[in-house]
Structure 1
Amino acid sequence: MYEKILIPTDGSDTAEVALDHALDLAETYDAELHSLYVVDTDSMSLSLGPEQLDRIEQGNWGEMDEVRERAESATGIVADRGHDRGIEVVEHVASGKPHSVIEEYAESNDIDLVVMGSHGRSGVRRALLGSVTERTLRSTDVPVMVVEARQNE
């Protein structure tokens, strides 16, 4: 049923909750697990100049080592936990608008399922803050499993 599962991660507790579900599914279906970290260039554009953003989008991190380390750490956690369970893991770091990058990655890599965490915000907070998960749900044709972090509190 599932041959390739995508887990977008930012290394947060919310992503960690979703990871547990993605690992269980990958193990059950003997699926390959893809770990994706997206550097949100929209939010970074407030503190970076256009030249820095262009370099990041081309994979040249320059003085952005802290961001690169955070990305590699987040995908590395997925890889380590997957390998501990005998699951093949593909790590990838990209930049752009998170929901768009997730959609493009899922479609170009023949992903069967996206597993994402959600903070479970609603109402005004969700409208003001936006939701990568919600935008991903609206933009992709790939099935998305949403795991709410609140259910485990």
Structure 2
Amino acid sequence: MKVLVPVDGSDCSMRALDFAIDFARRYDADLDIVHFTDVRGEDTDALMDRVNAELDETDIESDPTVAVDIHLASFKASNRIGRNIISMVEEGDHDHVIMGHHGTGRVGTFVLGSAAKTVVKSGDVPVTTVP
């Protein structure tokens, strides 16, 4: 089983990573961890260091990646991230997605969109969201 785990450094995203690590152990799954950004900088590198440190404490092997998309600086970037996740699922032949969900509420979702909502609504792959 191949599981895609998008991370953004938020608390819920890191809880999703912890859940995914446990999931991988239980079901002998492979984890593909990805972070989407419009510009790779110090914050991105710090997040990747944090993710790698978390993986170093486990027996799970994964090589987290950074996907740069310059269009993420636009309005409703989370919808674009959701579509990027769906594309990665299709290209990487993933069986499951585990991701955090901020629970921004109606107004936040209307203004910003929701990557998790976009992925769930696609129906292309089972999704576990972690608050």
Report TM bin, short chain. 0.7 to 0.9
Which is higher, the Rg of structure 1 or of structure 2? 1
Aligned residue pairs total 121
CA offsets 1:1-36 (integer angstroms, 9 cap, x no match): xx2111101112121111111111011112211110
Normalised TM-score (structure 2): 0.80
- The match for 1:136 is 119
- The match for 2:61 is 88
Q: Post-superposition, which runs of at least 4 consecutive aligned residues in structure 1 deviate over 4 A?
A: none
Specify the SS of the correspondent of 1:98.
helix
**Correspondent of 2:27 among 10, 26, 29:** 29
- The match for 2:99 is 116
Specify the SS of the correspondent of 2:48.
helix
Deviation, structure 1 residue 140: 5.2
What is the distance in 1 between the residues matched to 2:44 and 2:13? 13
**Correspondent of 2:50 among 55, 67, 77:** 77
**Correspondent of 1:19 among 17, 20, 35:** 17
Normalised TM-score (structure 1): 0.70
Q: Does 2:128 align with 1:145?
A: yes
CA distance 1:32–1:76, change in 2 (3 Å) = farther
Question: For structure 1, which segment, 69-78 or 20-29, has the greater mean C-alpha deviation from structure 2 after superposition?
Answer: 69-78
What is the distance in 2 between the residues matched to 1:76 and 1:30? 24
- Cα pair 1:34 1:89 within 8 Å, conserved: yes
Question: For structure 1, which segment, 81-90 or 107-116, has the greater mean C-alpha deviation from structure 2 after superposition?
Answer: 81-90
- Cα pair 1:27 1:85 within 8 Å, conserved: no
CA distance 1:86–1:37, change in 2 (3 Å) = same
Report percent identity of matched pairs: 35
